[in-house]
């Protein structure tokens, strides 16, 4: 989230799109209700009328997978009706920037300029800005003065390419004009035909949400803000990242980023999804969103610094974070002479997919032979779980660490598996539950909080860090005794997270916060902790495992007492009245509660509206008056010549320091464009490509990144296996409910929760039920080219057929919490209904195709057929 949970109460318009936060993030309801009480309008856009929709004022039903059409329509509406917030857009975004003249979208083929026929990828050069002048960076003074200090690895700081702009917006190549042109095709009728929402509802939603960009005619203030909440309903598409881009664009156009009650609210579920994202649990990112070394532009520390460091903005400091990271990783062994051990880090081969979706294909190809599965349940949760099971059966060994055996641990028990034919050795490591271990936890609002252990781990189960420690010690021992192909990375790694000889999360907190190794005595628990990441250096004098967390544990006086640290702080003061609670826990970065908060006041530093003041420039004192930690180069309080006066640099995490309406950073296009899902009941009427041309499918096979055209290629591989609308006429979407958490590995073992919702179901409209002859209490068989499951039917008025491109299309919803394995409840796999071999896993039906930027599979829109079981 660019903001935090409590801030939701400050909003004036709530837009849920691809999120069912009231059900799946119950705490959000508390703050949303407060906003609603204060008069906020509440809009829900969703294929299903959810419990969130029940609380809202306006409900707009759309076909699953047509979000970009919906957003595109809104962008068009905002631009056509001049609802965008002029002062914000002109100053704080790249709206006025001129794009390269080659920038173009080919409607015939559905391709952007720069498409390379041989690689099947885009060359993004034509998506860049026109350059006014190139300013070479100086290493003697200014931003990069530190780069010439001793100990800093050698690299050439990037030159600043000053973009050409046209503040009058007359130039056709202005980002805003290009957007107007691109989205002019998204008129209400077209959007209605694609999404199935009627024109009136669409217009109502666009109008209501568009109001947040408008000036209050009485006061002359921009006093309304809107927030867009999203979750897996947006990301789990073959164009998920572009869905999120749409929100970014809309929020920038309406001036809703960086203000109280605004922002793009990415709702993270399980405690630490946000934390896992931050820390490095991804094939492209290391801790703190620094990128992994690769075989091309990051093959050496110099190449890394040169390709990753920005020419302006805060990311000019990136080398400091990298060196501090390396210093923590390899400790004493990291020296300037050996590039701080950069080459000991694994180099991810460029252009190859290592996401979870590709993992099972690599197993099929015999590349992955052993699999460590830690705190996740892929045999229940990946796209096409049938494929997942088959591939797990190819492994030599599988290690699963969970608090009790899950679908993955016992994949060989699936009704369609034959244990006699499976040679995979499965090891189960009983893990301690969250309440059985101490440590930090991170929520969607980026709050780091410390939790103490409540009870001892059950029986012989161990905490994750204990297991890591044992594993690590054994690995090191083996490398020391037997050598190996490449022992250096292992043997040079620093591993000293002990207190009183026992592995402990507190030294990990020191490492995450950052410290000065020179003046620290870690063995005796006396770290010299950094105040925050502004103290990190690129000369090897600081160590920090994850720079963004720096500051969360910075009290060197009491390094063993979490309650004396910022993360242990529990003071309920809220001086601003905006629910910032600056002394409750610690929000990364820098305890900043609302990101991009410079944008909360105008170009002169005056708040858009007095009631939502985050900061204000006082010309007389040459100082900022602010209630949140500044998210811009504000300068030092009490500096001799005063603080930095307001300018247009509101987004200093980009090199332009402006918000990007258009972005060259995406794999599949500079502006979001509507494509149909991998499996769709209709044709794409907006452009010539049926699906996202960059969609990822067959992640590991030859078809990696191959184009998917309207004519259709052969997608008959195991993991995607496309079916067509003739055979499978119904649009299905999967979803979670509030009573259960994802694969049910925890909630499915709670009797009261299993009682609350005991079964998996198919949510189906009364109309379709009638057509299929289904009635209350019937079981339904749901199948497609990948899987075949039996579920209960839940016939409801809340589902309705849609008219898509003139044809009636039925949508159905499927929950995914139960499978063949469960403590108290599982699927009808026993053959009692005549369906032996039915795994009961909804994800047997979902295709293993994904977004080109993130690799997240398309769980939310696919085709099925249904009959009475």
Partner 1 sequence: MAKATDKAIYFDSSLCTDCKGCQVACKCWNNLPSPIGVNENQNKATAENPYIGSYQNPPDLNSMTRLIMRCNEVETPDLQKGVGLVFSRRSCKHCTDAGCVRVCPPGALYHDEETGFVAVDQSKCIGCHYCATACPYDVPRFYGEKRFIEKCTGCVDRVQNGLKPACVTTCQPGALDFGQRSEMVKKALGRVEVLKARGYKDACAYGINEMDGLHVISVYKYGLDVHQEVKEPKLSAIVPLSEVAKPLSAVGIAAVVAALGISFINGRKYDIGDFRYDEVTGVQTKHGEFYEQFDPAEIKAGEEQEPVHEISRRFNGDKRKGGK
Decide whether 462 or 740 has the Cβ nearer to partner 1.
740
Q: How far is the CB of 826 from partner 1 (least distance, A)?
A: 7
What is the CA angle 158-163-168, rounded to 5?
Answer: 165
Q: Tell me: does residue 776 bind partner 1 (CB under 8 A).
A: yes
- Residue range at the interface with partner 1 (CB under 8 A); choices 339-347, 616-624, 688-696, 755-763: 755-763
Q: d(Cα 382, Cα 236) in Å, to the nearest integer?
A: 11
CA Rg value for the chain: 27
Decide whether 22 or 812 has the Cβ nearer to partner 1.
22
DSSP 740: S
Decide whether 98 or 802 has the Cβ nearer to partner 1.
802
Q: Tell me: does residue 135 bind partner 1 (CB under 8 A).
A: no
Record the tokens describing residue 612, joined without a space.
């939502």
Decide whether 461 or 738 has the Cβ nearer to partner 1.
738
Candidate residues 185, 446, 674, 798; the one interacting with partner 1 per rule CB under 8 A: 798
**Pattern 816-835, binding to partner 1, x per CB under 8 A?**
------xxxxx---------
Candidate residues 235, 358, 565, 754; the one interacting with partner 1 per rule CB under 8 A: 754
| Interaction residues for partner 1, span 192-231 (CB under 8 A) | 201, 204
Q: Tell me: does residue 658 bind partner 1 (CB under 8 A).
A: no
Provide the β-strand partners of residue 790.
Answer: 781
Q: How far is the CB of 211 from partner 1 (least distance, A)?
A: 16
Phi, psi at 664, each rounded to 5°? -90, 5
- Residue range at the interface with partner 1 (CB under 8 A); choices 11-19, 46-54, 417-425, 674-682: 46-54
Decide whether 458 or 495 has the Cβ nearer to partner 1.
458
Q: How far is the CB of 133 from partner 1 (least distance, A)?
A: 53
Question: Are the C-beta atoms of residues 259 and 250 closer than 8 Å to each other?
Answer: no
| Interaction residues for partner 1, span 49-88 (CB under 8 A) | 49, 51-59
| Interaction residues for partner 1, span 573-612 (CB under 8 A) | none
Q: Which residue blocks in 487-623 are alpha helix, DSSP H?
A: 488-492, 505-513
| Interaction residues for partner 1, span 142-181 (CB under 8 A) | none
Candidate residues 356, 373, 623, 737; the one interacting with partner 1 per rule CB under 8 A: 737
Q: How far is the CB of 827 from partner 1 (least distance, A)?
A: 9
Candidate residues 8, 15, 17, 22; the one interacting with partner 1 per rule CB under 8 A: 22
Q: How far is the CB of 801 from partner 1 (least distance, A)?
A: 14
Q: Which residues make Cβ contacts (< 8 Å) with residue 616, sequence separation at least 6? A: 601, 605, 606, 607, 624, 625, 626
Q: d(Cα 92, Cα 85) in Å, to the nearest integer?
A: 11
Q: How far is the CB of 726 from partner 1 (least distance, A)?
A: 30
Chain centroid, CA 270 distance in Å: 13
Q: How far is the CB of 765 from partner 1 (least distance, A)?
A: 10
> % helix / strand / coil in the chain, to the nearest 5?
30, 15, 50
What is the CA angle 814-819-820, rounded to 5?
Answer: 150
Cα dihedral 241/245/248/250 (nearest 10)? -130
Record the tokens describing residue 742, joined without a space.
């994802």
Decide whether 52 or 212 has the Cβ nearer to partner 1.
52
Decide whether 109 or 749 has the Cβ nearer to partner 1.
749
Q: Which residue blocks in 93-224 are alpha helix, DSSP H?
A: 175-183, 188-195, 199-210
Nearest to 158 by CA among 295, 258, 308, 326: 308
Candidate residues 503, 753, 856, 864; the one interacting with partner 1 per rule CB under 8 A: 753
Q: d(Cα 231, Cα 242) in Å, to the nearest integer?
A: 14
Q: Is 534 helix (H, G, I), strand (E, B) or coil?
A: helix
Q: Is 378 helix (H, G, I), strand (E, B) or coil?
A: helix
DSSP 686: S
Candidate residues 12, 23, 673, 858; the one interacting with partner 1 per rule CB under 8 A: 23
Decide whether 25 or 626 has the Cβ nearer to partner 1.
25
Q: How far is the CB of 568 from partner 1 (least distance, A)?
A: 24
**Pattern 777-796, binding to partner 1, x per CB under 8 A?**
x--------------xxxxx
Decide whether 258 or 822 has the Cβ nearer to partner 1.
822
Q: Tell me: does residue 802 bind partner 1 (CB under 8 A).
A: no
Question: Are the C-beta atoms of residues 288 and 512 closer than 8 Å to each other?
Answer: no
Q: How far is the CB of 158 from partner 1 (least distance, A)?
A: 47
Decide whether 360 or 761 has the Cβ nearer to partner 1.
761
Q: d(Cα 800, Cα 35) in Å, to the nearest integer?
A: 29
Q: Tell me: does residue 443 bind partner 1 (CB under 8 A).
A: no
Q: Residue written as tokens 């292992």?
A: 490
Q: How far is the CB of 437 from partner 1 (least distance, A)?
A: 22
**What beta strand segments (E) does 788-858 contain?**
788-796, 802-804, 807-809, 811-815, 849-850
Decide whether 54 or 154 has the Cβ nearer to partner 1.
54
Q: How far is the CB of 825 from partner 1 (least distance, A)?
A: 6
Q: Tell me: does residue 773 bind partner 1 (CB under 8 A).
A: no
Q: How far is the CB of 862 from partner 1 (least distance, A)?
A: 23
DSSP 93: B
Q: What pairing do the DSSP bridges indicate for beta strands 439-442 and 447-451? A: antiparallel
Q: How far is the CB of 9 from partner 1 (least distance, A)?
A: 11
Nearest to 665 by CA among 326, 346, 356, 315: 315
Decide whether 690 or 793 has the Cβ nearer to partner 1.
793
Tally of residues, the chain: 869
How many residues line the site for partner 1 (CB under 8 A)? Answer: 49
Question: Are the C-beta atoms of residues 770 and 799 closer than 8 Å to each other?
Answer: no
Decide whether 447 or 699 has the Cβ nearer to partner 1.
447
Decide whether 56 or 511 has the Cβ nearer to partner 1.
56
Candidate residues 225, 308, 738, 854; the one interacting with partner 1 per rule CB under 8 A: 738
Candidate residues 483, 758, 831, 837; the one interacting with partner 1 per rule CB under 8 A: 758
Q: Tell me: does residue 755 bind partner 1 (CB under 8 A).
A: yes
Decide whether 30 or 270 has the Cβ nearer to partner 1.
30
Decide whether 521 or 836 has the Cβ nearer to partner 1.
836
Q: Is 491 helix (H, G, I), strand (E, B) or coil?
A: helix
Decide whether 441 or 476 has the Cβ nearer to partner 1.
441
Q: Tell me: does residue 756 bind partner 1 (CB under 8 A).
A: yes
Q: Tell me: does residue 48 bind partner 1 (CB under 8 A).
A: no
Candidate residues 351, 483, 577, 751; the one interacting with partner 1 per rule CB under 8 A: 751
SS3 sequence of 148-174: HCCCCCCCCCCCEEEECECCCCCCCCE
DSSP string for residues in 446-481: -EEEEE---SPPSTT-B-HHHHHHHHHHHHHHHHHH
DSSP string for residues in 571-609: ----TTSSS--TTBSEETTTT-SSTTGGGGB-TTS-BSS
Chain centroid, CA 488 distance in Å: 34
Cα dihedral 457/458/460/465 (nearest 10)? -30
Q: What pairing do the DSSP bridges indicate for beta strands 447-451 and 696-697? A: unpaired
Q: Tell me: does residue 410 bind partner 1 (CB under 8 A).
A: no
Record the tokens describing residue 307, joined without a space.
């390709």
Q: How far is the CB of 734 from partner 1 (least distance, A)?
A: 16
| Interaction residues for partner 1, span 231-250 (CB under 8 A) | none
Provide the β-strand partners of residue 813.
Answer: 733, 763
Q: How far is the CB of 209 from partner 1 (least distance, A)?
A: 14
Using CB under 8 A as the criterion, which residues of the chain lie in contact with partner 1 when the complex forms? Answer: 22-23, 26-27, 29-30, 32-34, 37, 49, 51-59, 201, 204, 737-739, 751-759, 761, 776-777, 792-798, 822-826
């Amino acid at each position: 989230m660019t903001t935090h949970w409590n801030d939701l109460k400050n909003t004036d318009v709530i837009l849920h799109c691809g999120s069912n936060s009231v059900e799946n993030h119950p705490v959000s309801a508390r703050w949303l209700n407060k906003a609603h009480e204060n008069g906020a309008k509440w809009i829900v856009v969703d294929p299903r009328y959810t419990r969130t929709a029940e609380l809202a004022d306006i409900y707009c039903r759309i076909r699953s997978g047509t979000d970009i059409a919906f957003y595109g329509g809104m962008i068009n509406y905002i631009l056509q009706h001049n609802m965008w917030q002029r002062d914000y857009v002109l100053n704080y975004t790249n709206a006025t920037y001129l794009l390269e003249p080659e920038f173009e979208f080919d409607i015939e083929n559905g391709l952007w300029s720069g498409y390379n026929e041989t690689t099947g990828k885009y060359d993004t050069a034509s998506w860049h800005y026109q350059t006014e002048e190139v300013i070479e960076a100086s290493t003697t003074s200014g931003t990069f003065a530190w780069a010439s200090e001793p100990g800093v690895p050698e690299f050439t700081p990037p030159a600043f390419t000053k973009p050409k702009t046209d503040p009058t917006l007359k130039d056709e190549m202005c980002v805003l004009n290009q957007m107007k042109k691109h989205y002019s095709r998204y008129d209400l009728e077209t959007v209605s035909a694609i999404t199935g929402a009627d024109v009136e509802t669409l217009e109502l939603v666009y109008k209501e949400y568009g109001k947040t960009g408008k000036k209050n005619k009485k006061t002359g203030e921009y006093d309304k803000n809107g927030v867009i909440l999203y979750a897996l309903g947006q990301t789990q598409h073959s164009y998920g990242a572009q869905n999120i881009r749409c929100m970014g664009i809309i929020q920038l156009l309406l001036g809703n980023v960086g203000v109280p009650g605004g922002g793009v609210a990415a709702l993270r579920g399980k405690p630490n999804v946000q934390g896992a994202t931050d820390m490095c649990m991804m094939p492209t990112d290391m801790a703190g969103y620094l990128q992994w070394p690769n075989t091309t532009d990051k093959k050496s520390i110099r190449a890394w610094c040169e390709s990753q460091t920005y020419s302006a903005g805060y990311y000019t400091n990136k080398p400091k974070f990298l060196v501090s990271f390396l210093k923590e990783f390899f400790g004493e062994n990291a020296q300037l002479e050996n590039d701080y051990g950069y080459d000991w880090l694994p180099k991810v081969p460029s252009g190859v997919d290592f996401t979870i979706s590709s993992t099972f294909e690599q197993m099929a190809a015999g590349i992955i032979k052993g699999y460590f599965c830690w705190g996740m349940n892929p045999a229940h949760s990946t796209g096409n779980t049938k494929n997942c099971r088959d591939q797990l059966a190819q492994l030599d060994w599988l290690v699963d660490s969970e608090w009790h055996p899950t679908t993955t641990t016992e994949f060989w028990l699936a009704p369609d598996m034959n244990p006699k034919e499976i040679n995979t050795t499965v090891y189960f490591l009983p893990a301690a539950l969250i309440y059985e271990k101490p440590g930090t936890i991170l929520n969607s609002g980026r709050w780091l909080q410390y939790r103490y252990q409540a009870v001892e781990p059950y029986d012989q189960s161990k905490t994750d860090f204990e297991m890591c420690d044992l594993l690590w010690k054994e690995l090191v021992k083996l490398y020391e005794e037997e050598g190996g192909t490449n022992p250096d990375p292992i043997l040079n790694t620093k591993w000293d997270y002990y207190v009183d000889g026992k592995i402990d999360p507190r030294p990990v907190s020191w490492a995450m916060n950052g410290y000065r190794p020179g003046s620290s005595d870690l063995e005796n628990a006396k770290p010299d902790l950094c105040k925050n990441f502004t103290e990190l250096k690129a000369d090897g004098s600081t160590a920090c495992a994850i720079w963004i967390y720096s500051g969360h544990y910075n009290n060197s006086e009491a390094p063993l007492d979490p309650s004396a640290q910022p993360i242990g702080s529990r003071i309920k003061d809220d001086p601003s009245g905006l629910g910032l609670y600056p002394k409750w826990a610690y929000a990364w970065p820098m305890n900043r509660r609302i990101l991009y908060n410079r944008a909360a006041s105008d170009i002169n530093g005056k708040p858009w509206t007095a009631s939502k003041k985050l900061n204000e420039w006082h010309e007389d004192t040459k100082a900022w008056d602010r209630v949140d930690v500044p998210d811009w180069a504000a300068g030092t309080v009490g500096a001799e010549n005063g603080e930095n006066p307001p300018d247009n640099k509101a987004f200093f995490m980009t090199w332009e320091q402006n918000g990007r309406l258009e972005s060259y950073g995406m794999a599949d296009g500079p502006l979001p464009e509507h494509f149909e899902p991998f499996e769709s009941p209709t044709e794409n009427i907006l452009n010539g490509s049926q699906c996202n041309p960059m969609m990822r499918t067959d992640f590991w096979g030859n078809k990696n990144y191959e184009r998917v055209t309207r004519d259709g290629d052969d997608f008959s591989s195991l993991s995607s296996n496309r079916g067509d609308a003739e055979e499978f006429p119904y649009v299905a979407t999967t979803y979670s409910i509030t009573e259960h958490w994802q694969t049910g590995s925890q909630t499915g073992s709670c009797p009261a929760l299993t009682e609350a919702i005991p079964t998996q179901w198919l949510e189906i409209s009364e109309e379709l039920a009638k057509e299929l002859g289904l009635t209350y209490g019937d079981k339904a068989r749901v199948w497609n080219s990948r899987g075949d499951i039996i579920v209960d039917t839940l016939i409801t008025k809340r589902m309705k057929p849609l008219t898509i491109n003139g044809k009636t299309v039925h949508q159905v919803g499927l929950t995914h919490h139960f499978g063949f394995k469960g403590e108290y409840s599982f699927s009808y796999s026993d053959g009692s209904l005549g369906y032996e071999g039915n795994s009961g896993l909804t994800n047997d039906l979902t295709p293993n195709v994904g977004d080109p930027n993130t690799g997240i599979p398309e769980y939310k829109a696919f085709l099925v057929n249904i009959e009475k079981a």
